Structure 1
């Protein structure tokens, strides 16, 4: 098998994954989660932070870190706009993509 043939197969795999994503989005577009106050407040702080300077040239690792920071900021926006505080936790309805991004960020 040619080294590049596998990427044709991977491209087809990516299409199937996207089709599964469409099914999941239709069934579970949003999920309700509970977050401890400390992480909810940190997410809101990420949303409120001014990162107006462009990233410039960055490595793949730096790009991935910036992408994760952006996902955190979007969760912070959701917390600040729609979060319902219950004691030391916030109950928030998140887009399934945001919830997935948080799970993928786990080590």
Structure 2
């Protein structure tokens, strides 16, 4: 599966609260390094996004998706339910066989 399709599907699934699709995009041993924590494992990441995120009424506005070697880089903004920017982000994804194996998030 094309890496851009995978990463766009990742954000679409989060925004739609479609955790079954979200889970299918993640490798079992996925690691998400965020500014506030590191989340390890598919079940833990799905649980966090479904149950523990500080604000679930958000959408991701993607500005660009690019390839940087084996990494897919996404730049965008996280918007609240009123469309106001909460922060800008850059996510770096590693994808193997159509599944996300790691995500590194930086916010601005």
State TM-score, norm by structure 2: 0.25
Larger Rg: 1
Structure with more contact order per residue of length (Cα contacts < 8 Å, sep ≥ 6): 1
If each structure's strand is expressed as a fraction of its own residues, which one has the higher value? 2
State TM-score, norm by structure 1: 0.25
If each structure's helix is expressed as a fraction of its own residues, which one has the higher value? 1
